[in-house]
A = this chain, B = another copy of it.
Amino acid sequence: MTAKTWAYEDFVEGTSLDLGTKLVSAAEIIEFAREFDAQPMHLDEEAGKASILGGLAASGWHTCAMFMRMLCDAFLLDSTCQGAPGVDQVKWKKPVLAGDQLTGSLVVVARRLSKSKPQLGFVAMRSELFNQRGESVFELENSVMFLTREAAGSLA
């Protein structure tokens, strides 16, 4: 048996998981933007205020990355995760601004075992992040691959 807490079998349809909280700092927003998305509204408070985002705002891809970190810390690093084939949809619904406190949750919407690799299953999840005012700022739908508990144990 694997020592990991979460394997494919644990993701029952309807399971809801708390993704914890994340305070978004101006320094992190600027650091990510300098490396990956150097548009003015992600680098500078005044440019952000002048844009439709209304303030220094995280790159949408930064929000995706922060979501991934929340997912890792919540349960993914303690799971049999084998990665994901992609993303079905991302919605950047509202700006994520410097000083925002994000909270997150996800729900398991479906799952199925792989036809070609029965030791592996796909878990479809719908995830959401909210800001400190309870506004939904981010939604993501995708499927993540997990080993079954038995397969993980035999590989460990």
Contacts and interface: CB of A to CB of B under 8 A. Distances in A.
Given A41-B83, A51-B82, A61-B61, A36 B69 contact: yes
Interface of A: 32, 35-39, 41, 51-53, 59-62, 64-66, 68-69, 72, 76-77, 81-93
Shortest beta-carbon contacts, A-B, top 3: A87-B90, A36-B65, A86-B91
Contact of A68 (B37, B77, B81, B89): B37
A38 B77 contact: yes
A51 B35 CA distance: 28
Report whether over half of chain A's contact residues are helix, strand or loop; otherwise say mixed.
mixed
Contacts of A84: 60, 92
Contacts of A85: 91-93
Contacts of A93: 85-86
Interface-central residue, A51, A90, A91, by most chain B CB under 10 Å: A90
Given A59-B68, A89-B87, A92-B86, A81 B36 contact: no
Contacts of A91: 85-86
A82 B38 contact: no
24 contacts: A32-B65, A35-B65, A36-B72, A37-B69, A37-B72, A38-B72, A39-B72, A39-B76, A41-B83, A52-B82, A52-B83, A60-B83, A60-B86, A61-B64, A61-B65, A61-B68, A62-B65, A64-B64, A84-B92, A85-B91, A86-B90, A86-B93, A87-B89, A87-B90
